Structure 1
């Protein structure tokens, strides 16, 4: 271990986990909030932009925060992000309590929602800084285990965040959106900020010299995409993330279509969090070494296709029980596909290219999370079933790409460490 040791790993885990509780509280109801405040004919597109604004800011600011943290230290950037989340969620709670026709400081509640989501996206783009913190305090042998703690924080936060949110809203399906989840999320981030202030030490070595890097190496992007062993995998990451992002962004609207209250909607998302936690932590982790990356990826793709088709089938006239029975197909399928395709990408990258190629893969995923909600919500506004038929078709194309991925040649394979998938939804 590096100089700050295991104690710092636990502190950074608790800090990230508490902050992600706030994300898990807001995300399940965000489409409903946006729909409440958007009253014109372009509601689908505007709602899609609202959902995508968070991911867009993370895409832009994650490398910036990481680069700044190389110069000023990890602790100030992490605390700045927590403070930004606290303020953004508090303003979100304030804005969601206004009537749709209210004007505050010249802005409508919808404009304030956009501002708070943009602010939360900028503040929440510090996850790579948390990963850099872990890299600072771990040696090579323990690096993978340390990075896995961030993934665990995501899974647990996305499970318990919705459960906490369920207690902050009522169970009346006709009730307007509650402002309480925003305030609760703000309190969670505020607690994380206080915890970091008193417990989180600086991890960056004062003698380290920051190396200037551009936030996106375009010159490396084109050769990577056109490389036969890399291009299909990157395209698979993009397509599968677009498909899953459509499901994520429209699920709250679908539960509203089924007549579920805000509280019951939170329970659906908590159920998804439990599925993700169990499938990634127990099932996929154990099966992947036995089955292999390509076979696991193929199984994950076609589970997602089947699950999305089934959701499309019940979307118009299904029941809540059917939804609970069908959701594991898509969720476990994505849990199987994501680490498998990330591992395939790593295995087909030379050791000297690992960071750059995996960074491009993360960029492809981030762009997909910007486009997916816009496509999904616009389609949902046209016809409830459309986003799921569309997602199933996109996943089928991704499956064809996986089928034609060739086995890695010995000269294509470096000696990478296992890759732990970390997503910022």
Structure 2
């Protein structure tokens, strides 16, 4: 038995044996008010599909050359017949896209804030299409590199697409956790 005065041993009315009552330390219970979850708004599925489709164009455009870039380097004659230099020049062609895209992508985001998302997305798709056409028609090594640089510089749609997704959805569409 404890020394606390409120702890008692007493038989209940229906029972003959005494029952021990243990005192629980005093605790303050603060009711937690659950924030109201906003009613989910329907997703604009067609708009999201179009934006995702535009986003898909960039990785395809950047990686479509991988299967044939080594053969293209050899066909331009830039290696001078030395097969060991093929990888170096193929790397220059492949990295030209990513280097120029890294430089220009933030400027495309800034331009989309000023001019609107749709004109920048359409201009980026048109620029990517024309630079891929230029890449396909190139026969000299440096014109191939220039076409890849133009493709990277004109293809800043990924950042613009992320901003567009944030604008067409709201807090009720976001995942929790």
TM-score (norm 1): 0.29
In structure 2, the partner of 1:13 is: 52
Cα-to-partner distance string for 1:140-172 (whole Å, 9 max, x where unaligned): 34356xxxxxxxxxxxxxxxxxxxxxxxxxxxx
In structure 2, the partner of 1:363 is: none
Cα deviation for residue 115 of structure 1 reads 0.9
Give the unaligned 5+ runs of structure 1.
Answer: 99-108, 145-416, 419-425
Runs of 4+ in 1 over 4 A off after TM superposition: 1-4, 41-44
Aligned positions of 1:353-392 closer than 5 A: none
Q: Please tell me whether residue 65 in structure 1 is matched to residue 108 in structure 2.
A: yes
In structure 2, the partner of 1:127 is: 158
Evaluate the alpha carbon distance shift between residue 70 and residue 91 of structure 1 in structure 2; reply closer, same or farther with a 3 A threshold: same
Bigger Cα Rg: 2
Measured in 2, the distance between the counterparts of 1:23 and 1:48 equals 13
Give the unaligned 5+ runs of structure 2.
Answer: 1-39
Q: Conserved in 2, the CA contact under 8 Å of 1:84 and 1:120? A: yes
Cα deviation for residue 27 of structure 1 reads 3.3
Query: Could you say which structure has the higher helix fraction?
Result: 1
Measured in 2, the distance between the counterparts of 1:3 and 1:68 equals 29
Aligned positions of 1:247-258 closer than 5 A: none
Q: Please tell me whether residue 78 in structure 1 is matched to residue 121 in structure 2.
A: yes
Evaluate the alpha carbon distance shift between residue 113 and residue 140 of structure 1 in structure 2; reply closer, same or farther with a 3 A threshold: same
Q: Conserved in 2, the CA contact under 8 Å of 1:57 and 1:125? A: no
Q: Please tell me whether residue 50 in structure 1 is matched to residue 93 in structure 2.
A: yes
Q: Please tell me whether residue 113 in structure 1 is matched to residue 156 in structure 2.
A: no
Cα deviation for residue 116 of structure 1 reads 0.8
Q: Of the candidates 71, 79, 90, which is equivalent to residue 39 of structure 1? A: 79
Evaluate the alpha carbon distance shift between residue 143 and residue 57 of structure 1 in structure 2; reply closer, same or farther with a 3 A threshold: farther
Evaluate the alpha carbon distance shift between residue 52 and residue 23 of structure 1 in structure 2; reply closer, same or farther with a 3 A threshold: closer
Cα-to-partner distance string for 1:76-124 (whole Å, 9 max, x where unaligned): 11111111111111111111xx4xxxxxxxxxx1011011100111122
Evaluate the alpha carbon distance shift between residue 137 and residue 115 of structure 1 in structure 2; reply closer, same or farther with a 3 A threshold: same
2:79 aligns to what SS in structure 1?
Answer: coil
In structure 2, the partner of 1:265 is: none
- How many residues align structurally? 134
Measured in 2, the distance between the counterparts of 1:4 and 1:80 equals 26
Evaluate the alpha carbon distance shift between residue 73 and residue 3 of structure 1 in structure 2; reply closer, same or farther with a 3 A threshold: farther
Measured in 2, the distance between the counterparts of 1:3 and 1:118 equals 40
Give RMSD over aligned pairs.
2.8
Measured in 2, the distance between the counterparts of 1:125 and 1:26 equals 19
